Amino acid sequence: MARYIIGVDVGGTKIATGVIDKSGKLKKKVILPTLSAKGFKVSLQQVYNSIDEIMNLSKVRKSDIAGIGVCAPGPLDPIKGIVHNPPNLKGWKEVPLVGLLRKKFKKKVKLENDANAAGMAEAIWGAAKGYKHVFYVTVSTGIGTAVIIDGKIYHGKNGMAGEGGHVTINYDGKDEVCGCGNTGCIERLASGPGTVKDLVKKLKKDPSNKTSILDMADGDPGNITMVMVGEAAREGDKLALDTIKEQGRRLGIWLGSMISLLDPEVIVIGGGVSSLGDLILRDIKKAIPPHSINIYAKKTPVVLAKLKRDVGIFGAASVLM
Amino acid sequence: MARYIIGVDVGGTKIATGVIDKSGKLKKKVILPTLSAKGFKVSLQQVYNSIDEIMNLSKVRKSDIAGIGVCAPGPLDPIKGIVHNPPNLKGWKEVPLVGLLRKKFKKKVKLENDANAAGMAEAIWGAAKGYKHVFYVTVSTGIGTAVIIDGKIYHGKNGMAGEGGHVTINYDGKDEVCGCGNTGCIERLASGPGTVKDLVKKLKKDPSNKTSILDMADGDPGNITMVMVGEAAREGDKLALDTIKEQGRRLGIWLGSMISLLDPEVIVIGGGVSSLGDLILRDIKKAIPPHSINIYAKKTPVVLAKLKRDVGIFGAASVLM
């Protein structure tokens, strides 16, 4: 009967909403602006509108919809269905989103944080299909992770588990304070902005460096982005290649520790960094075995995520599978 | 009917075997030497003998015994019931211990590594009684951990999960190579021998230090043990106090990361270090909140293990509960 799930990916700037059938086919999607700057009431109305709109556009009968899955930036409580106060959603404070949507649409509703949802989608429809114990990593402006155990997202006591991006690998690292306040988190050391920060530091020490990244950034280190670094690396720029090599090495060392602790069946790498493909995967894989006590670390597959652009919608829907 | 479990703790020097009833009462125990230097056959016979002996001594009828739980030093495979090749059990190589004991005693048999078993015993009968999600840590000559999820030991794909002692918190730390080959593992940085190593390094840099630890060690830094450091700290020795303070800080930083990743209900600290009590617990607890992104980190209880001397026997038995 109920063959469809609505997935709502609430982001800082846009809300991506789709109807997915249980085989993982995206039937239809709509994108609305979040308008969080206009206040919480406006952006909540945008969430409502996006669901109304997708039901109209997709022409799926309401009785065919099993439920509504929502993903949003953390911190949030997936167990109680409450969005705490994400820095990316201004004005949202302790919003009982699950309750609100359940009341409005009379459907089953579930809430999950971005990284957990994306990991679950990969486990159901993507690169980790068929695996039960999955460690999912998304490397973009931050580093998010999902710990999937026995095919379910592991939430821990307070629904806050899975913040592997804030595991420190350099506890006394000077100048390596993470956005979270901790020192030496892998997010600080290997996310996009963290990687660019270290590159700029290197450039300042060696201003004669003839990297093409600086040209792309119109000569201003403040303009450098990870996309530029990737582009320059593909063109053979040495500083860019060295930077990605080191980013891969750090991720590999950290993943070696994660394998020691969690012994997953597979590691999936998603987020912006996954578009670097083999350029970074090679160094990640190289660094893992010498940095894990697990004798099977070398055999643990490390693969790129499969779900790209619409991973948020798939992620949101996956929590209802 | 079957009210009793036999727990066999196979160690490098001795085999401790006991009969435990399901309420957690140790009815009787025997200790035999492992004799692993005399070869695998001899030490396996010692395991058999210890079980025969405990059945005779305890006068429990065979029909009252639910099964035999065994714990041994890793690496081992708890799923397949095979002891791989523990450095502490010479001559043991790919021993199918579960199969051998099952054949000999016609009972249910289960195998678990030391740290996992001890953690499970704490969860059933000790400091973590009543909790489902437990992170257990034993700090002695090494650092072992157990990840308990939904009341069960989490084993991962290959039965190798839970090696949290080999999570690095200092990936490029010079002179901080761990026994496992990785750099900056918390085991290298905060185990007994690791802590003593750093203390000796400090002493060599500052030979005028008037620490009482050196007197206890007859003036030879090579004789220093963690027990001496603890004793000196209790007497107010500054170097000893500073050393334990730093050990606690490192453990707390690492546990902050573990909470970010696993959001456990409780953290239990066992092993030799737990005898330091508040002396170390204070600094562990202090370091956790600023080093975790989990907003509940401060509220996560960090408690000392309850099962002391016989934790190995309880641990071995607990895997059959």
| B135 closest CA partner among B3, B313, B8, B284 | B284
User: Do residues B205 and B75 both lie within one domain?
Assistant: no
| pLDDT tens digits, B69-84 | 999 998 899 999 999 9
| pLDDT tens digits, A5-34 | 999 999 999 999 999 999 999 999 999 999
- Amino acid A87: pLDDT: 86
Which CATH number fits the domain that encloses residue B244?
3.30.420.40
User: Do residues B230 and B93 both lie within one domain?
Assistant: no
Q: Do A171 and B291 touch (CB under 8 A)?
A: yes
Q: How many domains does chain B have?
A: 2
> Given a cut of 90, is residue A47 above it in pLDDT?
yes
> Given a cut of 90, is residue B87 above it in pLDDT?
no
- Amino acid B274: pLDDT: 94
When pLDDT is averaged across residues B172-178 and rounded to a whole number, the result is 93
| A308 closest CA partner among A129, A127, A147 | A127
Percent above pLDDT 70 for chain B? 100
> Given a cut of 80, is residue B18 above it in pLDDT?
yes
Q: Which pLDDT band, with edges at 50, 70 and 90, does A110 fall under?
A: very high
User: Do residues B27 and B119 both lie within one domain?
Assistant: yes
Name the residue among B154, B253, B261 with its Cβ closest to that of A149: B154
Question: A-chain residues within 8 Å CB-CB of B257?
Answer: 166-168, 182
Q: Return mean pLDDT, chain A.
A: 96
Strand order in the sheet with A65-72: A26-33, A14-21, A4-10, A65-72, A108-113
Question: A-chain residues within 8 Å CB-CB of B263?
Answer: 155-162
Q: Residues A110, A114, A120, A121: what is their CA dihedral angle, to the nearest 10 degrees?
A: 100
- Amino acid A90: pLDDT: 87
More confident residue, A36 or B123: B123
Concatenate the DSSP letters of all residues of B250-273 into one string: HHHHHHHHHHHHH--SEEEEESGG
When pLDDT is averaged across residues A306-316 and rounded to a whole number, the result is 96
User: Do residues A99 and A133 both lie within one domain?
Assistant: no
User: Do residues B153 and B102 both lie within one domain?
Assistant: no
Q: Return mean pLDDT, chain B.
A: 96
- Amino acid B280: pLDDT: 97
Q: Which pLDDT band, with edges at 50, 70 and 90, does B138 fall under?
A: very high
> Given a cut of 80, is residue B58 above it in pLDDT?
yes
Q: What is the pTM of this model?
A: 0.97
Domain span including residue A222: 129-304
User: Do residues B177 and B254 both lie within one domain?
Assistant: yes
> Given a cut of 90, is residue B2 above it in pLDDT?
no
Q: How many CB pairs below 8 A link A and B?
A: 147
- Amino acid A156: pLDDT: 97
User: Do residues A166 and A215 both lie within one domain?
Assistant: yes
- Amino acid B275: pLDDT: 94
Name the residue among B156, B166, B172 with its Cβ closest to that of A133: B156
Testing the interface with B: which of A263, A266, A298, A300 to mutate, by most B Cβ within 10 A? Answer: A263
Q: Do A264 and B182 touch (CB under 8 A)?
A: no
User: Do residues B147 and B249 both lie within one domain?
Assistant: yes
Please identify which residue in the block is written with the tokens 């006991």. Answer: B18
Closest Cα in chain A to B296? A158
- Amino acid B88: pLDDT: 85
- Amino acid B170: pLDDT: 98
When pLDDT is averaged across residues A225-247 and rounded to a whole number, the result is 97
Testing the interface with B: which of A171, A191, A250 to mutate, by most B Cβ within 10 A? Answer: A171
User: Do residues B169 and B286 both lie within one domain?
Assistant: yes
Strand A152-153 and strand A108-113: the pairing is: unpaired
User: Do residues A61 and A145 both lie within one domain?
Assistant: no
Concatenate the DSSP letters of all residues of B167-231 into one string: -BSBTT-TT-B-TTS-BSBHHHHHSHHHHHHHHHHHHHH-TT---HHHHHTTT-GGG--HHHHHH
- Amino acid B90: pLDDT: 87
User: Do residues B165 and B110 both lie within one domain?
Assistant: no
Testing the interface with B: which of A262, A284, A295, A298 to mutate, by most B Cβ within 10 A? Answer: A262
Q: Provide, for chain B, the percentages of residues in helix, strand and coil under a 3-state DSSP scheme, each rounded to the nearest 5.
A: 45, 20, 35
Q: Which pLDDT band, with edges at 50, 70 and 90, does A88 fall under?
A: confident
User: Do residues B239 and B92 both lie within one domain?
Assistant: no
- Amino acid A319: pLDDT: 96
Range from A168-172, A205-209, B8-12, B188-192 carrying the lowest mean pLDDT: A205-209
Instruction: Give the E-state strand segments of chain B in sequence order.
Output: 4-10, 14-21, 26-33, 65-72, 76-77, 82-83, 108-113, 134-139, 143-149, 152-153, 266-270, 302-304
